[in-house]
């Protein structure tokens, strides 16, 4: 099984980190290209805008429509252009997933064509003024429309308030005023700097020969490039002076509760695997304390979950509740967090969580994007463990370590989206 989940790492002639997971079980091949940058005020807007402008047109594909036609010709290849935030790292991501020609009627090799398309997108953009202006407007609208999705908005508001003095509080797409201030020259300069100096990682999964792929990446991605920008400067804060409470009033039928915690533990830490247990026992399974006590026993919520952010060391509990139940639900959740800290964890909770976590990890190896997404998080945290290595480490976690984690987790911010009282 090891050979199906492990990535092999290569360095290309142009200093690109190439990570290949050779795997015959999928019907498709996946290529992902990441540019990694530190998340900070000065560049957050440029990083957010650039990939969308690139996708608007290039020499060979002058409009997005030309790209779309090409993708359809390549048997409906999926091209993804996006901006991500992991800890205090901002990532530009281009991904292309396409059917392996073994399954196609005419067996035409698609990989070469896919790499050419990605090359065109990244190295020969048109960057017309109209493209820049239009995409700027789209992102601004995207930012102001975040409120359309009340759950995501609540999560973002909690992050924003909890980390208001840290880069993590910046939104991955930047801000409206920041985007307005970008000039064409700024964007062009930023683009050139990005190609010349940023960390560039290429991840691929599929039934592809490693040497052939390395050759092709060398051939298609030849440029002057030194990886000099340090991308991961994430600051980990593990103390909280005072818990803050933030309440917004909106026209909603249901209150959205988001509680933000500092764990101080990331993928780089000894206790990371114990933190996975902690999160599982508390709130990420249907046998978890939150599900059983807040949903099943008290009937207060349909969903009540906990999640970890493994690069910044945060934990978040989210729930949708009746606005009248705010205090009651908050107290019930805090009680369960306290029970964790006092070591009230049963053998069943521990064992079932271990099995559940292993099941999830093994399952992620069955998803082409699960494999790459998982490996990326390891890479950016300098812990590129394979799934089998992670399972081994999970098996070594003790109850005492989980309790140690529980005592380090501190509530920082309570965000509640309340019903607006109609005047």
User: Cα(50)–Cα(69) distance, rounded to whole angstroms?
Assistant: 22
Q: Which residues, at least 6 apart from 350, have a Cβ–Cβ distance to it below 8 Å? A: 277, 281, 399, 402
Range 20-49, binding another protein (CB under 8 A): 24-28
The answer to the question of residue 368 lying near another protein (CB under 8 A) is yes
Range 402-421, binding another protein (CB under 8 A): 420
Q: Which x/- pattern over 302-341 shows residues binding another protein (rule: CB under 8 A)?
A: xx----------------xxx-------------------
For residue 237, is it left (φ>0), alpha (ψ between -120 and 50) or beta?
A: beta
The answer to the question of residue 299 lying near another protein (CB under 8 A) is yes
- The torsion angle over the Cα atoms of residues 397, 398, 404 and 406, rounded to 10 degrees, is 80
The answer to the question of residue 212 lying near another protein (CB under 8 A) is no
The answer to the question of residue 395 lying near another protein (CB under 8 A) is no
Among the listed ranges 88-96, 193-201, 232-240, 290-298, the one in contact with another protein (CB under 8 A) is 290-298
Q: Is 180 exposed, middle or buried (0-12, 13-18, 19+ CB in 10 A)?
A: exposed
The answer to the question of residue 227 lying near another protein (CB under 8 A) is no
**Token pair of 368 as six digits:** 């082409």
192 vs 303, beta carbon nearer another protein = 303
Q: Which x/- pattern over 52-91 shows residues binding another protein (rule: CB under 8 A)?
A: -----------xxx--xx-xxxxxxx--------------
Closest approach, Cβ 146 to another protein, in A, equals 8
The answer to the question of residue 388 lying near another protein (CB under 8 A) is no
Answer whether 200's CB lies under 8 Å from 33's CB.
yes
How many other C-beta atoms lie within 10 A of the C-beta of residue 196?
13
Q: Give the three-state DSSP class for 256.
A: strand
Closest approach, Cβ 180 to another protein, in A, equals 16
Per CB under 8 A, the list member of 250, 377, 399, 411 interacting with another protein is 250
Task: Give the burial string for 228-237 (b: 16+ CB within 10 Å, else e).
Answer: ebebbebebb
Beta-bridge partner residues of 28: 99
Closest approach, Cβ 353 to another protein, in A, equals 9
309 vs 322, beta carbon nearer another protein = 322
Among the listed ranges 84-92, 170-178, 221-229, 366-374, the one in contact with another protein (CB under 8 A) is 366-374
**Token pair of 365 as six digits:** 């190896």
């Amino acid at each position: 099984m090891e050979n199906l989940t492990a990535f092999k790492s290569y360095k290309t002639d142009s200093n690109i980190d190439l990570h290949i997971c050779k795997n015959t079980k999928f019907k498709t091949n996946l290529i992902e290209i990441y540019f990694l940058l530190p998340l900070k005020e000065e560049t957050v807007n440029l990083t957010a805008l650039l990939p969308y402008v690139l996708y608007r047109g290039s020499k060979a594909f002058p409009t997005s429509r030309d790209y779309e036609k090409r993708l359809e010709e390549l048997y409906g290849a999926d091209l993804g252009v996006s901006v991500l935030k992991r800890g205090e790292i901002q990532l530009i991501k281009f991904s292309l997933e396409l059917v392996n020609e073994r399954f196609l009627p005419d067996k035409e090799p698609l990989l070469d064509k896919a790499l050419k398309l990605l090359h065109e997108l990244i190295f020969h953009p048109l960057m017309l003024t109209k493209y820049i202006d239009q995409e700027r407007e789209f992102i601004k609208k995207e930012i102001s429309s975040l409120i359309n999705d009340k759950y995501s908005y609540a999560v973002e508001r909690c992050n924003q308030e909890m980390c208001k003095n840290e880069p993590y509080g910046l939104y991955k797409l930047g801000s409206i005023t920041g985007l307005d201030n970008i000039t064409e020259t700024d964007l062009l300069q930023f683009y050139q700097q990005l190609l010349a100096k940023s960390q560039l990682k290429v991840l691929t999964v599929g039934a592809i020969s490693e040497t052939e792929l390395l050759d092709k990446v060398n051939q298609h991605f030849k440029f002057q490039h030194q990886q000099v920008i340090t991308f991961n400067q994430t600051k980990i804060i593990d103390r909280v002076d005072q818990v803050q409470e933030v309440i917004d009033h909106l026209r909603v039928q249901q209150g959205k509760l988001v509680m933000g915690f500092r764990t101080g533990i990331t993928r780089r830490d000894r206790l990371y695997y114990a933190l996975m247990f902690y999160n599982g026992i508390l709130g990420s399974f249907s046998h978890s304390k939150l599900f059983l006590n807040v949903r099943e026993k008290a009937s207060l919520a349909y969903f009540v979950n906990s999640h970890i952010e493994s690069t910044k060391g945060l934990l978040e509990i989210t729930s949708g509740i009746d606005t009248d139940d705010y205090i009651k639900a908050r107290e019930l959740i805090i009680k369960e967090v306290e029970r964790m800290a006092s070591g009230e964890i049963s053998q069943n909770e521990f064992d079932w969580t271990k099995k559940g976590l292993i099941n999830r990890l093994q399952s992620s190896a069955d998803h082409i994007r699960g494999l790459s997404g998982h490996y990326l998080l390891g890479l950016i945290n300098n812990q590129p463990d394979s799934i089998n290595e992670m399972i081994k480490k999970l098996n070594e976690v003790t109850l005492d370590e989980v309790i140690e984690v529980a005592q380090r987790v501190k509530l920082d911010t309570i965000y509640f989206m309340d019903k607006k009282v109609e005047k």
